Amino acid sequence: GAGVSQSPSNKVTEKGKDVELRCDPISGHTALYWYRQRLGQGLEFLIYFQGNSAPDKSGLPSDRFSAERTGESVSTLTIQRTQQEDSAVYLCASSRDLGDEQYFGPGTRLTVT
């Protein structure tokens, strides 16, 4: 079946602009995660959605970052007033349920100029 998809695959934006990144999880997966991978760094957890529960936002680095998820489907990560340090690959993952294997999408490569 289809894996996790993300769009756009690449995004170049000017400092100060807002960006929206989209994630389509595997159908039927109740849990969805966003991670950030900066150059030379490991993946950093950002936010987690489980079913209809309130999301866990404990990894978001600042209030410029927010995310939404519609039911158990698409999620959007929004970064407002982008800064150069936001340049990274943003990866989305989904899992069937809490604690199950996470399947990653290919990521969105964000470059802030």
Among 2, 41, 70, 71, binds other proteins (CB under 8 A): 41
CB contact at 8 A, 92 and 40: no
Note the helical H segments in the chain. Answer: none
Q: What is the dihedral of CA 20, 26, 27, 31, to 10 degrees?
A: -80
From 14-22, 40-48, 68-76, 79-87, span contacting other proteins (CB under 8 A)? 40-48
CB contact at 8 A, 31 and 48: yes
Q: How far apart are the first and last CA of the chain?
A: 37
Q: Of 44-63, which residues contact other proteins (CB under 8 A)?
A: 44-45, 48, 50, 53-54, 56, 58-59
Cβ proximity to other proteins: between 14 and 101 the closer is: 101
Q: Which residues bind other proteins (CB under 8 A)?
A: 4, 31, 33, 35, 40-45, 48, 50, 53-54, 56, 58-59, 91, 93, 98-99, 101-107
